[in-house]
Structures are given as C-alpha cells and as structure tokens.
Amino acid sequence: MLIWLLSDCDTGKFAAFKNLLNSFSAQYPDIKVDFRALTRRSMWQNLFAHLRDSKHRESADLLELPHSWTAVFARLGLLAEVGGVLESFTPARYPDFLKKGCVPEESDTVFSVPWWMEAPALFYRPEEFSKRRLCPEADLLDWEHFLGTCERLAAGNKKRGFYPLLQGDGAGRLSSSHALPCVWNRGGDVFSEDLNRCTLGKDEAVKGLQDYLEPALRGYLPLFNEAVFEGGPFYEEVCAMVFGARAPASPGRKSVFKAVRLPGPRKKELVCSYNLAAAAGSPNLKEAGLFLKWASAADNSSSFAAAFGVFPCLKAGFEEALEDAREGQAWREIFSAPAMTPNITIYPTAQLLLDRALWHASLRIARQTYAREDFLKELIIAQGEIDYLLSLY
C-alpha cells in the first residue's frame, strides 16, 4: 500500500510518520506500507496526472489532503466514500467546525477523515520584547501596532542579518494561508457569503492583502531569505517574531518563542485541517481502510500530532492537547472562533490563483520592483478567473 503525504516545513512530521508506520507494521505485519512526501503543488499535479491517465500515472492508495481538496477530488471521482472503507465513522467525535471539510458541498457523503490540524499564529521572543519594552497584548493588538512593533524591533537591533519578522517555513514567499486573516481583519474574504462570487477585488480584501504585504515592503520580513539555505535562520538571534503554525526552534532545542493570535480585529481564526482519504481506484482499499481506522484512532492520532507540534482532530484528543499546550491560553483564544476555508470544488484553484498573485508580488518585492497597480491587476484577473470557474463548476 502506498500513502502520499503532504510535505511539511518540519522534517519532524516524517519522523513522526515513520514511527507511526512502524507501530502499524508491528500490528499488521502482513501489510506492506510505503509512503511518499510531496509538496502541495506536486501532489495536486500528480493527482490530476492520474485523473488524465490512470493507466500510466500511479496514485496512492491513501492520501493526506488539505480539507479543502475533498470536494474537488470527490467530484472528480478520485476519492472513495469513507463509508465504503471504514466500518463505522462517527462525525460526532470531531469538533463541528471540521465536519464541512469531510463532505463535498450539498452532500452528506463523507469522503475524508480529519487527521490533524493547525492554525496560523504569530510567535514572538519574550526576551526581545522585554528588551525593547514591548508588550504583546498592546503592541500586537492590531496591524498598525504590529507594524510599529516591527519598526521598533528593527531600529533596536542592528545585528547583521537581523529581521524583526521571519517566516516559519522555507518557501520564502508570501502565502494565502497567512494572508487570509489579514483580509478578514478588514472585513473582506475570498468569496461572497453565498459562495457564488469571488470578492478578491473588493476594497476590503485588497486592503487586507496590502496589510499582509506591508512588513515585506517595509523590509521587516525578508523574502526568499538566503539564511534558510545555510542551515538557518537562527531564530533566537536573528529575529524577534515568526509567522507560522508551530513554535519555531533550532534542531534539537526547545523553542524560546511564545504564540499569540495574529494581530487584528477579525472575528474568526483560520484553522487548516489535514484529512486522510482513500483513493477510489485503489486495489488495496481494504488495507487503506485498516490504516485509516488505525491512524485516526484516538491514541495514534494524538501521539502523531504531538510529535510535530500540531493538534489532533478527535474532539477528546484536541481538548486534551489544548490543555497541555504551551501557550494554552493563546491557542484556546485562536480555537475559540475557528473558521475553515470553504470545501467547494473550485476553492483549491482559487487558492492557487491567489498564491500565484502573491508569488509574483513576493518576487517583485524581493527585486524591489513591486508596484501596487501590478498586484491589483493580478487580483482583478484572478477574480475574473475564479468567477468564471464558479459559473462552470
């Protein structure tokens, strides 16, 4: 049986998964399991390649997917109904906000099972904050204060290679998952409430995205940072804050960062869940079902999530992890108003288009050729394309 996993900014996930596989193999020695880790883009391309030519392009038996991919791949016939591979699946064991990620729009059929989740947050170094007499509650209250904090941190630390803010992954680019909370801060969103129209070109959304670009434009946040290549960034010394979903730490060391919710007055917090789904065309559906059942069991999912600093999806395990978490208060605040990205057929494509616009903006900012008009033009074109897709699917 082959499992496709999504790659992660933290190699800890693969170590955790290997441990999980070892335990599974000990219990089911007859089932041979292999896994492959793919980037989000690569998995997207490989799944479409399989849809195009299933004879020559392999797919996995079991897939780890962002929850918002469930609708599109269920619609394209790639995912097996969970009811067909698991003897029983009890949605009531999961927090309510996760349920929409398991079923395609206007359907009751479950196609994926929530496995683990995370939420974007801001991590700050208390030591650096107290040195500059900064108070996280007041100075990270909203985006304006946050930018002011960045300015004070930059002015107060002239060390070579120091930045007030870094990104928690090596992608080096600005991404939609961190942009969305900024858009929500301004009262904007990607879609209208009825999900019938794209609203990326609306004022609120544009302002929110502009907020998100601002730290990079002002030079507080380096893009495509070369320190990533050279084994860094050395978080403790060269930055004061990190955008991410896990507490950043140098390998083998305990994190010195504390989590707070991303600044801003929004009323909801983005939560991303990662689900397991069996492939409809798999010749090993029985084995896939066994692994799915085993991996989503309370103990296994909790220990797997804990091993790389994320949250399990089962209600009991999630509440326990929230209790035990460092910065429990911050995470409780974040998870008190959870919101997921919509699980509709075209959402992943909309996200690709927004990410493409942000990628171009990142490149232009890094080259110092950024112009607001170019970014706006891209957003308007993306909106047109998304609206067109909404009319088609």
Partner 1 sequence: MKKSKQLLNGLDSAGEPPVFFESREAFLKGLLETASKLVAAERVSFYYYDEKNALLRLMMRRSGGASFEAEENVRQGRNSPAASALAALKPLVFRNRAGHFLLTPFRIEIYSASANREAPIQGLIKLERSLKKRRFSPAEAALAQERLGGFMRSYYKAEFVALNRKYAKNLAAITELTEIFANSLRVRESFKHILTGIQTYFGFDRVRLYLIDEKARKLKGEFSSDIRGQIKSIAYEEIPLESGAHRFADIVLGKNSNTFMERYKDCVLYLPLIVQGVTIGLLIVDNLLSQQKIAPGELAMLKSFAGQIGLALDNVRLFDKVEELSLYDELTKLPLRRYFNQRFQEEFYRAERFATPLAVIWADIDYFKEVNDTYGHQIGDKVLKEIGRVILSNLRKIDFPCRYGGDEIIILLPQASGEEARKLSRRLAEEIAEIKIPVPFSKARELAVSLSVGISTFPADAASMESLLEKADDALYWVKSQGRGRIALASEVKAEKSRVEGRGDRVEGRGDRVEGEEKV
Among 91, 232, 293, 327, contact with partner 1 (rule: CB under 8 A): 232
Integer Cα distance of 72 and 61 in angstroms: 18
Among 84, 155, 196, 393, contact with partner 1 (rule: CB under 8 A): 393
Residue 77 C-beta: closest distance to partner 1, Å:
6
Does 388 bind partner 1 (CB under 8 A)? Our answer is yes
Does 381 bind partner 1 (CB under 8 A)? Our answer is yes
- Considering only 106-114, 299-307, 334-342, 385-393, which stretch makes contact with partner 1 by CB under 8 A? 385-393
Among 229, 328, 336, 391, contact with partner 1 (rule: CB under 8 A): 229
Integer Cα distance of 122 and 142 in angstroms: 12
- Considering only 31-39, 80-88, 212-220, 323-331, which stretch makes contact with partner 1 by CB under 8 A? 31-39
Among 31, 51, 256, 298, contact with partner 1 (rule: CB under 8 A): 51
Contacts for 73 with CB less than 8 Å, ≥ 6 apart: 47, 65, 79, 111, 277
Does 366 bind partner 1 (CB under 8 A)? Our answer is yes
Place of tokens 């397991």: 276
By beta-carbon proximity to partner 1, the closer residue of 51 and 298 is: 51
Strands 34-38 and 62-66: unpaired
The distance between the two most distant Cα atoms of the chain, rounded to a whole number of Å, is 63
Within the chain, where are the H helices?
12-27, 40-52, 70-75, 82-85, 96-99, 126-131, 136-139, 143-156, 176-185, 203-217, 235-238, 285-295, 298-307, 315-324, 328-335, 347-367, 372-392
By beta-carbon proximity to partner 1, the closer residue of 332 and 393 is: 393
Count of chain residues binding partner 1 (CB under 8 A): 58
- Considering only 134-142, 197-205, 290-298, 378-386, which stretch makes contact with partner 1 by CB under 8 A? 378-386
By beta-carbon proximity to partner 1, the closer residue of 322 and 381 is: 381
State the CB neighbour count (10 A cutoff) for residue 155: 10
Task: Give how far the C-alpha of residue 171 lies from the chain's centroid of Cα atoms, to the nearest Å.
Answer: 13
Among 144, 226, 299, 323, contact with partner 1 (rule: CB under 8 A): 226
Residues in the chain: 393
Residue 42 C-beta: closest distance to partner 1, Å:
5
Does 7 bind partner 1 (CB under 8 A)? Our answer is yes
- Site for partner 1, residues 91 to 120, rule: CB under 8 A: none
State the CB neighbour count (10 A cutoff) for residue 137: 7
CB of 311 closer than 8 Å to CB of 121: no
Reply yes or no: is the peptide bond before residue 233 cis, omega within 30 of 0. Answer: yes
Among 25, 34, 131, 326, contact with partner 1 (rule: CB under 8 A): 34
CB of 83 closer than 8 Å to CB of 111: no
- Considering only 91-99, 202-210, 239-247, 384-392, which stretch makes contact with partner 1 by CB under 8 A? 384-392
- Site for partner 1, residues 60 to 79, rule: CB under 8 A: 72, 76-77
Coil/strand/helix, residue 331: helix
By beta-carbon proximity to partner 1, the closer residue of 29 and 251 is: 251
- Considering only 49-57, 97-105, 149-157, 327-335, which stretch makes contact with partner 1 by CB under 8 A? 49-57
State the CB neighbour count (10 A cutoff) for residue 15: 12
- Site for partner 1, residues 157 to 176, rule: CB under 8 A: 169-173
C-alpha dist (Å) from residue 203 to 265, 292, 379: 17, 43, 11
The residue type of 24 is: F
> Which tokens is 38 given?
């793919």
Does 373 bind partner 1 (CB under 8 A)? Our answer is no
By beta-carbon proximity to partner 1, the closer residue of 21 and 298 is: 21
Each residue 314-353 as x (binds partner 1 by CB under 8 A) or -, in order, gives -------------------------------xx--x--xx
Integer Cα distance of 339 and 359 in angstroms: 24
Interacting residues with partner 1 (CB under 8 A): 5, 7-9, 11, 14-15, 18, 34, 36-42, 44-45, 48, 51-53, 72, 76-77, 169-173, 223-226, 228-232, 234, 250-251, 345-346, 349, 352-353, 356, 363, 366, 377, 381, 384-385, 388-389, 392-393
